[in-house]
């Protein structure tokens, strides 16, 4: 197995470049650190371009065989690659998956949700609720960033997550009710049918809510009644309550 | 108004000591930073022992009058007191509230929930759902720590939050069904009645779940079905779905 001992190695430099969203978008690649995430990517048949391992004996042989190329690295290189203080000793450069969005029947749409922890938890919750797909607008936190990947706990690899340029167009052509989460002409979610076979649910930006064009394209706005004195619910909790209501 | 210009001032030293949970517990006091949290404490009639302000002109006169003592501080002192990189310029030492727990009818119980963000969000969600009280066991993240206060977005001051030594005793004497969240003999939450007037819901530690003694004291365990491939739901999202189901 080829060894990499220098931070000047071109693969190491590529990994470093991919820490920037712009590079990930341009190259269609993402970077992963840690056994759990890389194992998830492998089990979900993503293409692993490069695998970097500190201790080869710890790594599943099937994972090494599935990778296009595997390199043994030293601690110096591991520390350079690591996004965390204590590197787990395994890193990968992986192709972003692509999906056909026209077949999705139960969809969560994120409209410029900013907080990576929220985005990750929303994807995890959509996965738990058994939805078909998560569609994120431009302006939503990068799905393939470190924080989103961690908060999603692997769900990014379980459920198709698609960055869509024209969410309004998708919504306008969606075959089923589209629920917005805004107070304008909203009804309580209790009035919305449970166990729907086809639906889209849109969650907006934490501060500003949904964009006007999307609001205009919804079938119905829904709200969750606040019985106490909190001003609002956390966006991921609101989404969890609504998705489990719609799945029923 | 008296001025404090030295970090050696005894009130400044007291504030610093109260950054430790042990001191907060011992003295029955908490520390607050920022206009929003202090305003919430004031509006909820908590006793403000000491108020420290950088720019007196920015502070509501009613708040100053309600405080037992107010001090004008300089930037050096503000930076010392601040837990955040950019101090908001207002700090307070406030008495922790005390509550009578025997009257609570709709209760969320946290059994050693560790993550401060989760604890804060759980309190915020219990507030939104209109519950009467949150009871936390010893071993749960400190309710009056900076991170919990922030994540709760003021809900710590809206709903009684009680640290209870003997949660098992409370549960055994509770007048209503007590729902645990564990898989042993659990039923889907869909089988549990909605709109209950009296109930307790217990959430356990993120990794280990509920303690055995509490499990033995529950009326019924409930689960939320996972329709997809996520291993679990975030604890605050699970609690949100269950609380809004029970409140219905």
Using a CB-CB cut-off of 8 Å, the residues of chain B touching A238 are: 240
Q: Which of residues 50-89 of B touch A (CB under 8 A)?
A: none
In a domain, residue B100? The reply is no
Question: Do A13 and A87 have their domain in common?
Answer: yes
Contact status of B232 with chain A (Cβ, < 8 Å): yes
The confidence score (pLDDT) of residue A165 equals 87
- Is the Cβ pair A230, B128 closer than 8 Å? yes
- Say if residue A180's pLDDT is above 80: yes
- Is the Cβ pair A228, B153 closer than 8 Å? no
Question: Across chain B, where does the E strand assignment appear?
Answer: 3-4, 29-33, 48-53, 69-73, 90-95, 106-110, 133-137, 161-164, 178-180, 187-188, 199-203, 220-223
Question: Do A116 and A30 have their domain in common?
Answer: no
- Say if residue A154's pLDDT is above 80: yes
Out of A158, A230, A240, closest to residue B158 by CB: A230
CA nearest A248 in B: which residue?
A: B190
Average pLDDT over residues A211-223: 96
The confidence score (pLDDT) of residue A84 equals 67
In a domain, residue B232? The reply is yes
Interval A50-68: pLDDT, tens: 999 999 999 999 999 999 9
* ipTM value for the complex: 0.86
Domain total in chain B? 2
Rounded to whole angstroms, the Cα distance separating B191 from B205 reads 24
Local structure of residue A185 (DSSP, 8 states) = T
Sheet holding A220-223: strands in order across?
A161-164, A133-137, A106-110, A199-203, A178-180, A220-223, A187-188
Average pLDDT over residues A3-10: 96
Rounded to whole angstroms, the Cα distance separating B164 from B98 reads 11
What string of DSSP letters covers A38-90? HHHHHHTT--EEEEEES-GGGS-HHHHHHSSEEEEE-HHHHHHH-SSSS--SE
In a domain, residue B174? The reply is yes
Contact status of A192 with chain B (Cβ, < 8 Å): no
Out of B124, B190, B230, closest to residue A230 by CB: B124
Question: Do A164 and A224 have their domain in common?
Answer: yes
- Is the Cβ pair A128, B159 closer than 8 Å? no
Question: Do A83 and A6 have their domain in common?
Answer: yes
Contact status of B230 with chain A (Cβ, < 8 Å): yes
Low-confidence ranges of chain B (pLDDT < 50): none
Question: Do B80 and B187 have their domain in common?
Answer: no
What's the pLDDT band for A248 if we cut at 50, 70, 90? Answer: confident
Rounded to whole angstroms, the Cα distance separating A241 from B246 reads 12
In a domain, residue B136? The reply is yes
Question: Do A119 and A157 have their domain in common?
Answer: yes
Give the minimum alpha-carbon distance from A159 to chain B in angstroms, rounded to a whole number.
Answer: 8
* Nearest alpha-carbon partner for A215 in A207, A226, A203: A203
Structural domain including A147 reads 101-247
- Estimate the share of chain A in helix, then strand, then coil, as percent rounded to the nearest 5: 40, 25, 40
Question: Do A164 and A195 have their domain in common?
Answer: yes
Contact status of A207 with chain B (Cβ, < 8 Å): no
Angle at A64 between CA A62 and CA A69, to 5 degrees: 145
The confidence score (pLDDT) of residue A86 equals 78
Contact status of B188 with chain A (Cβ, < 8 Å): no
Question: Do A135 and A118 have their domain in common?
Answer: yes
Relative to beta strand A220-223, strand B161-164 is unpaired
Please identify, among A46, A74, A95, the residue that sits at the C-terminal boundary of a domain.
A95
CB neighbours of B248 closer than 8 A, spacing ≥ 6? A190, B194, B195, B196
The confidence score (pLDDT) of residue B100 equals 85
What is the CATH classification number for the domain harbouring A139?
A: 3.40.1280.10
Task: Check residue B86 and give left, alpha or beta (phi > 0: left; psi -120 to 50: alpha).
Answer: beta
Out of A130, A153, A231, closest to residue B153 by CB: A231
Q: Which of residues 96-125 of B touch A (CB under 8 A)?
A: 121, 124-125
Please identify, among B49, B74, B95, the residue that sits at the C-terminal boundary of a domain.
B95
Question: Do A111 and A78 have their domain in common?
Answer: no
Question: Do B142 and B209 have their domain in common?
Answer: yes
Q: Which of residues 131-170 of A touch B (CB under 8 A)?
A: 131, 153-155, 158-159
Interval B234-244: pLDDT, tens: 999 999 999 99
- Say if residue A27's pLDDT is above 90: yes
The confidence score (pLDDT) of residue A100 equals 85
Please identify, among A95, A128, A145, the residue that sits at the C-terminal boundary of a domain.
A95
- Is the Cβ pair A237, B232 closer than 8 Å? no
Question: Do A11 and A105 have their domain in common?
Answer: no
- Say if residue A122's pLDDT is above 90: yes
In a domain, residue B29? The reply is yes
Question: Do A116 and A33 have their domain in common?
Answer: no
The confidence score (pLDDT) of residue B86 equals 79
What is the CATH classification number for the domain harbouring A87?
A: 3.30.1330.30
In three-state secondary structure terms, A174 is coil
The confidence score (pLDDT) of residue B130 equals 97
The confidence score (pLDDT) of residue B88 equals 85
């Amino acid at each position: 197995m080829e060894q990499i001992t220098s931070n000047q190695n071109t693969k190491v430099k590529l990994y470093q470049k991919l820490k920037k969203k712009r590079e990930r978008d341009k190259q269609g690649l993402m970077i992963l650190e840690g056994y759990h995430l890389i194992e998830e990517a492998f089990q979900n048949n993503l293409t692993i371009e490069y695998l970097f391992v500190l201790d080869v004996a710890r790594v599943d042989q099937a994972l090494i065989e599935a990778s296009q190329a595997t390199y043994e690295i030293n601690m110096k290189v591991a520390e350079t690659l690591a996004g965390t203080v204590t590197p787990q000793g395994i890193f990968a450069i992986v192709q972003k998956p692509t999906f056909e969005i026209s077949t999705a029947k139960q969809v969560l749409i994120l409209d410029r949700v900013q907080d990576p922890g929220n985005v990750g938890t929303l994807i995890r919750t959509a996965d738990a609720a058994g939805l078909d797909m998560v569609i994120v607008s431009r302006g939503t936190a990068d799905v393939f960033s470190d924080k989103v990947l961690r908060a999603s706990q692997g769900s990014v690899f379980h459920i198709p997550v698609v960055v869509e340029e024209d969410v309004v167009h998708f919504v306008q052509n969606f075959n089923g009710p589209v629920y917005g989460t805004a107070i304008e002409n909203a009804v309580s979610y209790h009035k919305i049918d449970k166990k729907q076979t086809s639906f889209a649910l849109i969650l907006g930006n934490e501060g500003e809510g949904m964009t006007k064009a999307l609001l205009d394209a919804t079938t119905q706005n829904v709200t969750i009644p606040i019985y106490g004195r909190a001003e609002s619910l956390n966006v991921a909790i609101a989404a969890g309550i609504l998705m489990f209501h719609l799945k029923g």
